[in-house]
Structure 1
Amino acid sequence: MDLKNFASAQQYFSRRSFVRNAGIASAAAAAMPSFAKAMSQQAAAQAPVDGPNGRQRGGMRMPMAADTVIISSNENPLGPAPVALEAISAAAKKGGRYDREYSSAMTKAISDQFQLKPGYVRVYPGSGGPLDLALYSNIGPDKPLVVGDPSYEQGFRAAATCKAKCHMIPLDKTTYKYDVKAMLAADPKPGAYYIVNPNNPTGTITPKEDIVWLVKNKPAGSVVIVDEAYHHFSNQDSVLDLVAQDQDIIVLRTFSKIYGMAGVRAGFAFGRPDLLARFENVTVNNRQIGSISLTSASAAAASLTDPNLVPLRRKINRDVLDDTLAFLQKNNYSFVPGAQANMFMVDVKRPGMEVQKMMMTEKVAIGRVWPIMPTYVRVTVGTPDEMKKFQVAFHKVMNEPTVAHAMLHEYDIPHELDRA
């Protein structure tokens, strides 16, 4: 694997340590309670498990060692770009006043980039909040939700919160794309279809033409919600042009992934003004929920001005991913083919949760397990060094005998659902 690009990027993304510290401070400033998170917490309190993967909430869990390799949350180890850190430093000086400048500039920057008319974009602190708003405002007891399986659990959790029936449609067995025809056949009057593209957890792509077909053939009154959190890692065409065409579609984007701003919190909801206005049916406090910090807004807007950021980071991720998949293939480990994101799934041929726990004994935190694929674990693409440590630990664990779950410690392994 060519690591020259990674080495140059590490130098590129590590300038000005004082600005990096300002970025850490901005992460705390960006955090805020949201109606969507409160609703999810309420649902979690009413149920014994946190979504379909059965992860128990609460109880005693062991903290991770400080030197644990964390490749469980689909984060970007490169962090914010230099232009973002410089923007944070400059904007923070104005932090004593409410933002009357940066969020508007951020909205205009993204609208101009995708040639969207005014009113088609809303900014938020991350995309988890607006994703919940998009789901809550379109599903309910008489408006089922149709999702892929496996898929990001926020759809499943929103259905539980809204007491909506949730149709979980298995992905195509060969390509692991969303089976849009099966999704269409699942219910005559759904409230919404939820598609993550590239998909979380498989990292696989659903071709744009399939999503266009679903939008054109779905029942009237329903909405297609497309989560493009990992879009920049792929070469797939976006469906944002369908928003500009006034189709029944809501698209979510985030700066948490390729832009490395998971802790800084910045994201968008794209849709026709009437679809975005439905968010007010969930909470009239939508303005406060969408109150992104001025440091986050400035970092996001600045990131959009760097033309080399996305292609460089896409290549870095691809190089490390290819190197890791080559290791798996060389050692005859099966994995889901076609990953085009910063994650992949590998078949461990035994209960995946057991391997996740065994990997923690090697100080490597990997992702969770989905019920429909119980012997697969999800792994985030980290730095080359982190993935080498993963390879050593994984090879060791896979050559050890099976250990009963009860014999292994429960660790507080982080994952992206914790902050959604």
Structure 2
Amino acid sequence: MSTGSCNPSVSRRNFVRLFGAGAAAAAAISGLTPELRAQAAEPSPFTPRTKRMERPQLPPDAVIISTNENPLGPAHSAMEYMMKIAPMGGRYDRVGVGQDVVKTLSEQFGLKPGYVEFYPGSGGPLDMALMSNIGPDKGLVCADPSYEQGPRAAKTMKAPLKMVPLTATYAHDVKAMLAANPNAGAFYIVNPNNPTGTMTPKEDILWLIQNKPAGSVVIVDEAYHHFSTHESVIDQVAADKDVIVMRTFSKIYGMAGIRAGFAIARPDLLAKFNTVSPYLHIQNVASASMMSAAMAVASLKDADLVPLRRKLNRDNLDMSMEFLDKHGYKTIPGSQANMFMVDVKRPGSDFTKQMLTEKVAIGRSWPIMPTYVRVTVGTKDEMLKFQTAFVKCMDKPSTTVNAQLKAELYIPSEIDRHYV
């Protein structure tokens, strides 16, 4: 299958830095020059790992609700199947576990062969989806606030970037997004949105698909879709529209550290992923292990997993929102994900540090909403501890932050490329 010409906006050095550890592994592939091997060892500008390792870590009894992880971890069915496959780990995948993931996904979504690619996580393929469709002459349009990987990709590709505020109901304003750049190469929609957890109606996304410029794509990031009961747009991929849908096993499936994700699109759009750099093939640096594949396929075939975890998340989300509303704290309504936002009436970064003094790590804030912080939904016990710490910190003046926090602890975040 032809992959077309490679994008000159990503240099050899930048591509290797961009993929960090993945590129370092790729340096072992035959055909790479000594220069490229040396560059692969350089630290990525996106992942200051040495600096991170030097930071004091959170205490083991800290409540970590900053990263949109699933505290339940992998399903029992996934771990059982992984243990069955593990003894075969000394050889390459001869039993077709990875192929089973793709086959299962294709069957569940009614897709033809070639419309699904399986990866170790969703961060790398999301970059490829973005970067293969944008550049200096093909801009990117994103919502504001939303997940920051889109703007980072635009910066890397030197692509014009337009950030469009959400609507009054915290949905993507698709008509304003199209008006912001009628000639954009890609429109990036996160649904449910990160950080607000809110939904953009499917009919709005369909409008954008129908009215976007020819040759552009709509990239829909459905990382949190399982927490919602709203319709996906994967049917638009099945209908051969210019749509790329991203999914991950990091969230409801509880596999953030195991690394598994997938992209769904027409074969020609998936093939474009390999045009970003002339030096590396994306599947060479992003092949999923048999262990992650085993856990992924077992999770997909566990019919009770998603409904059960969706309900557990909903119960703890509702409990948290009811508590905050009852005490008069302002929140962003309508979350359909495993996160919510609350107004702390002060710079969000200051409040995050205050919460650390209570051994509770919450998420970050966004420049367009500087006094709102994002909170991941944890277990019932974790959310009760959050409530106690939240009220205590809201009752304190923000000027006490620096005096109480002796060192800047490292707060885990899904934006860190080591975890995405």
Q: Give the shorter-chain TM-score range.
A: 0.7 to 0.9
Cα distance in 1 between the residues matched to 2:265 and 2:386: 40
Cα distance in 2 between the residues matched to 1:303 and 1:279: 26
1:105-254 aligned at under 5 Å gives the runs 105-172=100-167, 174-254=168-248
Q: Do structure 1's residue 322 and structure 2's residue 318 form an aligned pair?
A: yes
* 1:297 paired residue among 286, 293, 299: 293
Contact 1:143 1:191 in 2 (8 A): yes
Cα distance in 1 between the residues matched to 2:235 and 2:286: 23
Task: Give the % identical residues.
Answer: 62
**2:130 partner letter:** L
Residue equivalent to 1:339: 335
Q: Do structure 1's residue 377 and structure 2's residue 373 form an aligned pair?
A: yes
* 1:410 paired residue among 408, 411, 416: 408
* 1:62 paired residue among 56, 62, 84: 56
Cα distance in 1 between the residues matched to 2:218 and 2:21: 27
Query: Residues 209 and 35 of structure 1: is their aligned pair in 2 closer, same or farther, counting only changes over 3 Å?
Result: farther
Residue equivalent to 2:37: none
Cα deviation digits, residues 111-162 of structure 1 (max 9, x gap)? 0111100000000011111101101101111111100000111111111111
RMSD of aligned C-alpha atoms?
2.1
**1:341 partner letter:** A
Tell me how far 1:62 sits from its aligned partner.
2.8
Corresponding residue SS for 1:312: helix
Corresponding residue SS for 1:304: helix
Residue equivalent to 1:13: none
Contact 2:20 2:43 in 1 (8 A): no
Residue equivalent to 1:3: none
Runs of 4+ deviating beyond 2 Å:
31-38, 40-45, 57-62, 404-409
TM-score, normalised via structure 1 length: 0.87
Residue equivalent to 2:257: 263
Residue equivalent to 2:344: 348
Query: Residues 413 and 80 of structure 1: is their aligned pair in 2 closer, same or farther, counting only changes over 3 Å?
Result: same
* 1:394 paired residue among 378, 390, 393: 390
Cα distance in 1 between the residues matched to 2:340 and 2:408: 23
Corresponding residue SS for 1:278: helix
Contact 1:144 1:166 in 2 (8 A): yes
Residue equivalent to 2:303: 307
Query: Residues 299 and 60 of structure 1: is their aligned pair in 2 closer, same or farther, counting only changes over 3 Å?
Result: closer
Query: Residues 59 and 98 of structure 1: is their aligned pair in 2 closer, same or farther, counting only changes over 3 Å?
Result: closer
Cα distance in 2 between the residues matched to 1:211 and 1:33: 35
Q: Do structure 1's residue 34 and structure 2's residue 28 form an aligned pair?
A: no
Contact 1:147 1:169 in 2 (8 A): yes
Cα deviation digits, residues 201-246 of structure 1 (max 9, x gap)? 0000001111010000000111100000000000110000000000
Tell me how far 1:42 sits from its aligned partner.
4.5
Contact 1:36 1:133 in 2 (8 A): no
Cα deviation digits, residues 138-190 of structure 1 (max 9, x gap)? 11111111000001111111111111111111111x21000000000011211
The alignment of Structure 1 onto Structure 2 pairs a total of residues equal to 379
146-155 vs 401-410, greater mean Cα deviation: 401-410
Query: Residues 183 and 404 of structure 1: is their aligned pair in 2 closer, same or farther, counting only changes over 3 Å?
Result: farther
